[in-house]
Structure formats: C-alpha cells, structure tokens
Amino acid sequence: MALPIILDCDPGHDDAIAIVLALASPELDVKAITSSAGNQTPEKTLRNVLRMLTLLQRPGYSGGRRRA
C-alpha cells in the first residue's frame, strides 16, 4: 500500500525533480502539493507548481490569495 503524503515546497529546480519522482513512485500516494515562499515569492512558487502539474497532466488548484 502506497504511503499517503502531502508535499510542501518552494518549487525551483530541486523541488521540481522531487515532485516528478514522488508522483511517479508506486510507493507514494501524493494527496496534495502546497507551495510556499522560499527562494521565490509565493506567487512565483504557485505558478511553478501549477505549470508542472499541467505538464504532467495532473489537476491543480489555487487556494486563497489573502495572507492569514
């Protein structure tokens, strides 16, 4: 049985590779991917993750834009 996980990342090059590997792994069940600020702004990391999911033909959704 695959391990259910949620990935939280600031998808640059390194995290992009980790996302692809996690989605391809039969040992992992990626339930969600959240983007956070790190090396880029929250807007850019969200855009990066949504672009990746589109390329990988996976659904992607944006949450609220207001900061808590």
pLDDT tens digit sequence for 12-66: 888 889 999 999 999 999 999 998 888 888 888 889 999 999 999 999 888 766 6
pTM for the full model?
0.81
What tokens were used for 47? 């855009």
Q: Are 25 and 52 in contact (CB under 8 A)?
A: no
Q: Which residues pair with 28 in a beta bridge?
A: 3
Residue 64 or 68, more confident: 64
Q: Give yes or no for residue 67 having a pLDDT over 80.
A: no
Name the nearest CA neighbour of 18 among 49, 57, 63. Answer: 49
Task: Look at residue 7 in the predicted model and tell me its pLDDT.
Answer: 93
Provide the residue ranges of all domains of the chain, joining segments of one domain with +. 3-55
Residue 38 confidence (pLDDT): 81
